Amino acid sequence: MSDLGNEPGARMSRRTFVMSALGGAAAMAGRAKSAASTQANSKIGIGIIGVGGRGSALFRDLQQRAANGEALEIVAVCDVWDPRTQARVRDTQGRAKGYRDYRELLAQPGVDAVVIATPDHWHSKQTIDAMNAGKDVYCEKPLTLYLDQAKQVAEASKRTGKVLQCGAGSGSDGRWWTAREIVKSGGIGPVIWFQGGAFRNDPNGDWNYPILPCKPGVDLDWDMWLGHKFGLAPKRPYDPERYSRFRKYWDYSGGLATDLLYHVYAHLAIAVDHDIPYRVTANGGQPVHNLQNDRREVPTLFTIQADYPNQSMCFMIGTQECDDAIPDLVRGQKGVLTVGGPGVIVRPQGPFRDEMLDMAKQLDCYKGAELRTHKEGDRTVLDEILVPSRYSFDHMGNWLECIRNRQQPTMDADKAYRVMIPIALSVMAYRQSKVIYFDPKTERVVDRNPLA
């Protein structure tokens, strides 16, 4: 099984669960010595690389935490477009230093940890460079653009002992960790398949953000943004469309898979805690906004099917042209599980209603649950089980806490790498129009079914 973390014991507090069960990182604690002091009561110096839309949101979040008394300070910001950097420096009343080259930020001694919110094609290099420079890292999702990069990031985190949190926030949704307890306890029987999706509908085309008034060679380092000198993307003349709307282009993004479905698979993987998939297929298209009328390379409709060695499967779908959603579900032989409101909802399968009623009364994973039933003559029939979430996490706060206690966070490098496997393989399958086989033992793409 995957190492998404050990199960919390019945007496473990939420804090203890965060510190030990999720991370499984006691062995790392001795190695994880930051180049700068991040002891329990010291102020964490944070640098932010990429302060566009998402980076600015994270900047504001951290600013608010500091204003609320958390021991942290934004000491540096970096962006290839100078006006963004200058605006964020002003927001700190000039206390933060501004940079155009992220390597200069990493060289600043006062930076203990960095937040990376750059386009996807930069995530791996900047994350590895940061950890090699002694910094803990919060990297926005996806962890990387390509699968080999994700494995390199996971290896770098292990080698350096740095705390890495991938910004897939649903990985800190305590309801899915509660769901995981239910699934692992056999509370819905064997998992048959699980599903999820992401749904939007923008008549103007999703990701068609306003074109920014950049002046390449004056206030924008276009070559650095491309990263062609580092082998990250092809060199090309300045293209304001690609710069402002990078998620539409394969060179910088995996489209729906990496931007939206990564989030979805993050919490499904936590709940199911499956082995690595051995086979991935993908399909999709551009029903409305396409290459001809929108310059869009990536599909606006995308499906993923991942098959696992235990013969279960995962199905995910994303669309940007119809927001009528399907629910995120884990379908077991005896019950079907989802999250809703403050907890987890389990509905029994018809042939197993009586057995599920007994299980709901006996299993520890169902302690404190509300059983909704109805009568059929003298028989009590189970309709659903409502299980309150046993855990509550703050994704950014979890990272900051782990910097101090040197444990691993809810979406650490290894978990984020494992989430990346079906996501990256689905992009490969779609772009190559083929079934992709993956050997879970060697963790490599192979030519034929590794289970045959």
Question: Does 203 sit behind a cis peptide bond, omega within 30 degrees of 0 on the bond before it?
Answer: no
pLDDT tier, 7 (very low <50, low <70, confident <90, very high otherwise) = very low
pTM: 0.90
Supply 298's token pair: 């990536």
Nearest to 198 by CA among 255, 277, 246: 255
> Could you say which of 3.30.70.600, 3.60.21.10, 3.40.50.720, 3.55.40.10 is the CATH number of the domain covering 14-172+394-412?
3.40.50.720
> What pLDDT is attached to residue 40?
61
Residue 178 has pLDDT above 80, yes or no: yes
pLDDT digits (tens, 9 = 90+) for 244-262: 999 999 999 999 999 999 9
Kindly report the number of other CB atoms within 10 A of residue 14's CB atom.
14
pLDDT value of position 31: 34
Q: Write down the pLDDT at residue 16.
A: 35
Which residues make beta-bridge pairs with 194? Answer: 314, 330
Contacts of 95 (CB under 8 A, 6+ apart): 73, 74, 75
For 21-69, the DSSP string reads ITT--HHHHTT---SS---TTSPEEEEEE--SHHHHHHHHHHHHHHHTT
Residue whose C-alpha is closest to residue 65's, from 374, 417, 400, 317: 400
Q: State whether the Cα torsion 100-104-109-113 is positive or negative.
A: positive
Domain ranges of the chain: 14-172+394-412
Instruction: Answer for the pair 143, 416: CB distance below 8 angstroms, yes or no.
Output: yes
Phi, psi (5° rounding) for residue 220? -130, 130
For the chain, what is the mean pLDDT?
Answer: 92
| pLDDT surpassing 80 at residue 358 | yes
pLDDT on residue 202: 96
